Amino acid sequence: MLQRMRDAGLIWPTLATIAAFLILLSLGFWQWQRMHWKRGLLDRLEAAASAAPVPLEQALQAAPAGAAARLEALRYRRVRLRGTFLNDSELHVWAPEPRQITWQVITPLRFAKPLPAPGGGAPFTHALVICGVVPAALKSPETRAGGQPAGPVDLTARIRLDEPNPAAPAPNLAKAEWFTRDLGKMVAHLKSADRVSGSFAPFFLEAVERTGGDGAPVPRLSALTLSNRHFEYALTWWGLAATLIAVFAAFASSRLRPVAPE
């Protein structure tokens, strides 16, 4: 059989096909593992988002060591805190809805007392709060003064991590208009403009209730929508592996078929 395959020129094509088949098969199993990992992550996030809120300081202290692991453990965690909004420094993020143009209002908040930073470093004195959305007609803060609390407030929020869209247009800083939530750039802008000084928490806080009276932004707590299409990806890789075998089988069959005498 080996000699026959050699005579038909099938040795190297066979080896290449086996190698490609194993690679495609392994990619399918990798996506299968990713599917189960993503399901576990979604379960953890849903548990965090539905758990009773705890003081923000307590949540920070309970988070695991390591910056990346700590932030991941805090994602969507519901927390309680107290602070004062710096309403004259609010930012607006483009957030159109199906029937109207709306803007998401993000406002710096100064904690009632600095929070110790896990792992050391300067205590957190501020955070950026996602207060909710307002229609375009109420984008200007002057149109909704009644919705902007002037003194200390008690706030319940959930922690949102920084996930900027690199393809979004650049912000219009003169109008405080942004087209993606970018924590690092927002904080840098506020500090460079001498609007806020201090140490910011490395995450957003998303208010779960309105932060003021009439005219206050309305929270839009989006559902947990982490993409989990890994089952489709696994089927795609395995389908390619099956197709490769079918194509190679047809090719090899044609090369091994006896040639009819003329």
Q: State the pLDDT at residue 53.
A: 87
- Residue 150 banded pLDDT, cuts 50, 70, 90: confident
Reported as a single tens digit per residue, the pLDDT across 86-131 is: 998 999 999 888 888 899 999 999 999 999 888 777 899 999 999 9
Q: Is 259's pLDDT higher than 60?
A: no
* Arithmetic mean of pLDDT over the chain: 85
Q: State the pLDDT at residue 76.
A: 85
User: Does the reported pTM lie above 0.85?
Assistant: no
- Residue 48 banded pLDDT, cuts 50, 70, 90: low
> Residue 214 has what DSSP assignment?
T
Q: State the pLDDT at residue 82.
A: 96
Q: Which of 16-25, 65-74, 138-147 has the highest mean pLDDT?
A: 16-25
Contacting residues for 91 by C-beta, under 8 A, at least 6 apart: 105, 106, 107, 128, 176, 178, 186
Dist CA 169 CA 18 (whole Å): 46
Q: State the pLDDT at residue 183.
A: 95
Q: Is 225's pLDDT higher than 60?
A: no
Q: Is 261's pLDDT higher than 60?
A: no
